[in-house]
Amino acid sequence: MAQTQETVVLHGHIIDSLILAKVLDTILMMGGTFDLTDVKIGATREEPSHARIVVRAASGRLLAEILEAIQPHGASVERESDCPLEPAPADGLFPENFYATTHLPTQVRLQGRWIEVEAMEMDVGIRVDRGGTAARTVPMGDVKRGDLIVTGREGIRVLPLQRPKERDVFSFMEAQVSSERPHGHIIADIARRMRALRDDREAGREGSKVLLAGGPAIIHAGGREALAWLIESGFIHVLFCGNALAAHDMEAHLFGTSLGFRLSAGRAVPHGHEHHLRTINRIRAIGSIEKAVRTGVITEGIM
């Protein structure tokens, strides 16, 4: 079977930080193969190492997914090209295929030169000046119509953390929901009161309402469908929440993830941290959550 291939390079402290091992393991786990065509290991702890890897996959789509997954580890395509730029379509709106940043130092290729992205932070976009000589992160709300925004994944180089930390930056996401539970009789009592209030309202007797103050942990812990059912069934009448619950509820519908974790499998997906940003950007492009529901973009869930 014919395979597609691409050559990537790794540079830095890729041995003692296990970056090389992570990249090779990711390629194999995703169904690809590789050849290490050139490896130069630093002679001292301070001297960087270099690796050249030919990545192969059964299809162009799988190859693209593998390259996307290993990019945060610092694997950049050897076939260098400038990063694509697209103008922002409106104030406060990124182009559809905008590049969402990580917390890691990042460079973009402009006019054949690698430029350091200034003010690096996570979950924002990258804006390039009109001269194509400087790049800086920009939050969605600060985008102006016509701003040149980095899109796609070509011409972008992520510089990975060089040495392992005791705790990964996303390790808080690995924690399980607490196993502690309120006593059963407390839950049963709340359920009886909620049912009585619903029955009164269905009988035309206006009374108290049930208000839920909810957060995004409801989505991440798998309670999305249950809460939607409680609302649809008339047990909850008012919902107080911040934008996080709404964003992750719609992310779950559009991408099947919450904060980038696959809800059906309980594990992170490559570049999953971008999903809530892409969700917000899509809804902003439509105009409102109400319009997204009315036009059939959002068809199920809490919102």
- For CA atoms 252, 256, 257, 261, the dihedral sign is positive
The pLDDT value given to residue 1 = 56
Considering the domain 210-294 in this protein, what is its CATH number? 3.40.50.10690
d(CA 98, CA 155): 13
Q: Percent of the chain, pLDDT > 70?
A: 91
Q: Do residues 86 and 97 make contact, with C-beta atoms less than 8 angstroms apart?
A: yes
Give strand pairing partners of 118.
Answer: 136
At 202, which amino acid appears? E
Q: Do residues 257 and 251 make contact, with C-beta atoms less than 8 angstroms apart?
A: yes
pLDDT score of 169 more than 60: no
pLDDT digits over 36-77, tens only? 999 999 888 788 899 999 999 999 999 988 998 898 888 988
Give strand pairing partners of 40.
Answer: 50
Of the CATH numbers 3.90.1150.10, 3.30.70.2690, 3.30.465.10, 3.50.30.50, which one belongs to the domain with range 4-77? 3.30.70.2690
Per CATH, domain 85-158 is 2.40.420.10: yes
Instruction: Give the residue from 93, 125, 90, 94 showing the smallest Cα distance to 108.
Output: 125
pLDDT score of 186 more than 80: no
Query: Domain segments of the chain: what residues?
Result: 4-77, 85-158, 210-294
The pLDDT value given to residue 259 = 81
